[in-house]
């Protein structure tokens, strides 16, 4: 295929302005002119991520946040105040009332609710998601879809039983540079793919923080939820003034380290590009018992994936028989001259795709198409991340059967596929 700077730029501009934007976004803002009433959304988990996503929702037509839930009163109060301020800034008149709850089981009973946005720590995703689906609600669940593989499969089953729409929050699938990279890979532009290198941080560690006094207004037992009891520490649930992401994601009891936090984005791009959304790798290897990177895994067609840094932050490098392609949220680069088409060397591409990812979910709820990261896809990517963490934890190779979803060379390791619940999911 012949590439020229002019033709590629013209094609890319058309793709950005039309192809990658859902049809109902091209007609205006999402939901514009829809005969249906506004979708009524409840937000569960009102921390930093939920505030950012709800800010996106506030700019979209056809949808309203009508209810919010958090076990921390201060966090819940900040969330509702921020929504009022956004509404006031828009000049749209009096802000709609947002009902508040401390228990998600009460929120999902909120009258008139259509769907929920789940932005809690990972260990709470499965019970909340399944409960919402059983109530007949559509779900947008932040990535990684689940904390364990067995929970993920239960979520898939719940979606299939309910007939509702679930969009996993792996919104890189709605970002131009990743979509363009996947198109190039699948079109064979760098030849036969031999390896993908995923540059993300390390696996989780066991919780080791010294407990502190639980602040007023925080129901710590409910924050812990079904997982093992651990003491409160402010870094797990930081205040707005701390201006950091919650460190719960670093600890195995609540998250999966950077392997799931960023792997749910970057391993996901590998799954997508290699057309493995309904399956997974079959073999995992770690270099030493205490390694934090260097893990490799293989698909049954022989393609190798390696977890290691290569100097571009959170990114993926595809190695083909004809050249390489690097992609991140800010960079799209290839060793093949002219392939990218935006000039020589690595090109920084603007990110920002949450609105498109939401719009696609809303369209699917209204019966207009499908989502690009449905529950099975989210589950398969989360499974890759979890298996990588299990291999790092055990320091031993794993043989995985993606059909039965069992580890076949280490029966005891299968105990790590499911959660330890200290309390009922009900």
Per residue in 164-199, pLDDT (tens digit) is: 999 999 999 999 999 999 999 999 999 999 999 999
- Does residue 214 register a pLDDT over 60? yes
Strand residue runs (E) in 145-255: 166-168, 193-199
Concatenated DSSP letters for 372-425?
Answer: SS-HHHHHHHHHHHHHHHHHHHHTS-EEEETTTTEESS-GGGGGGGS---SS--
Average pLDDT, whole number, for the chain?
89
pLDDT confidence of residue 71: 98
In 3-state terms, what secondary structure has residue 349?
coil
Per residue in 124-144, pLDDT (tens digit) is: 999 999 999 999 999 999 999
pLDDT confidence of residue 231: 98
Sheet holding 315-320, edge to edge: 347-348, 331-334, 324-328, 315-320, 193-199, 304-307, 296-298, 283-285, 398-401, 406-407
Per residue in 255-264, pLDDT (tens digit) is: 999 999 999 9
Place of tokens 């991520």: 49
Interacting residues of 308 by C-beta distance below 8 A, sequence separation 6+: 197, 198, 199, 293, 294
In 3-state terms, what secondary structure has residue 296?
strand
Per residue in 280-312, pLDDT (tens digit) is: 999 999 998 789 999 999 999 999 999 999 999
| Helix or strand (DSSP H, E) at 116 | strand 115-118
Per residue in 35-79, pLDDT (tens digit) is: 348 999 999 999 999 999 999 999 899 999 999 999 999 999 999
Domains contained in the chain, CATH given: 5-171 (3.40.50.720)
Give dist(CA 338, CA 216) in Å, integer: 59
Give dist(CA 281, CA 360) in Å, integer: 28
Neighbours of 153 (CB within 10 A): 19
pLDDT confidence of residue 11: 30
């Amino acid at each position: 295929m012949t590439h020229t700077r002019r033709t590629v730029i013209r094609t890319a501009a058309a793709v950005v302005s039309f192809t990658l934007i859902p049809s109902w976004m091209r007609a205006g803002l999402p939901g514009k002119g829809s005969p249906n009433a506004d979708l009524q959304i409840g937000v569960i988990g009102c921390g930093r991520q939920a505030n950012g996503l709800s800010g996106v929702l506030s700019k979209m037509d056809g949808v309203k946040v009508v209810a919010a839930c958090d076990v921390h009163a201060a966090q819940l109060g900040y969330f509702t105040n921020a929504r009022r301020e956004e509404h006031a800034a828009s000049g749209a008149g009096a802000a709609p009332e947002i009902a508040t709850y401390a228990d998600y089981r009460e929120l999902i009973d909120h009258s008139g609710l259509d769907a929920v946005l789940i932005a809690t720590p990972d260990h709470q995703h499965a019970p909340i998601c399944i409960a919402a689906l059983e109530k007949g609600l559509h779900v947008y669940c932040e990535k990684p879809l689940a904390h364990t593989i067995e929970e993920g499969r239960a979520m898939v089953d719940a979606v299939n039983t309910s007939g509702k729409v679930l969009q996993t929050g792996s919104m890189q699938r709605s970002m131009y540079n990743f979509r363009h990279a996947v198109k190039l890979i699948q079109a064979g532009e760098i030849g036969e793919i031999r390896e993908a290198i995923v540059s993300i941080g390390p696996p989780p560690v066991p919780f080791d923080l010294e407990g502190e006094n639980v602040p007023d207004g925080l129901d710590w037992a409910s924050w812990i939820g079904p997982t093992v009891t651990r003491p409160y520490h402010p870094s797990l649930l930081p205040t707005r003034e701390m201006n950091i992401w919650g460190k719960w994601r670093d600890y195995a009891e609540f998250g999966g380290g950077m392997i799931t936090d960023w792997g749910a984005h970057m391993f996901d791009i590998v799954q997508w590009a290699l057309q493995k959304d309904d399956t997974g790798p079959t073999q995992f290897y770690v270099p030493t018992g205490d390694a934090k990177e260097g893990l490799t895994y293989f698909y049954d067609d022989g393609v190798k994936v390696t977890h290691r840094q290569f100097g571009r932050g959170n990114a993926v490098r595809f190695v083909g028989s004809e050249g390489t392609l690097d992609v991140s949220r800010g960079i799209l680069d290839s060793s093949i001259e002219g392939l990218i088409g935006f000039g020589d060397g690595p090109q920084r591409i603007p990110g920002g795709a949450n609105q498109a990812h939401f719009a696609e979910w809303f369209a699917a709820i209204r019966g207009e198409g499908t989502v690009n990261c449905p529950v099975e896809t989210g589950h398969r990517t989360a499974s890759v991340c979890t298996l990588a963490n299990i291999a790092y934890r055990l320091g031993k190779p794993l043989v995985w059967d993606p059909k039965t979803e069992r580890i076949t060379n280490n029966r005891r390791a299968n105990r790590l596929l499911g959660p330890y619940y200290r309390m009922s999911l009900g």
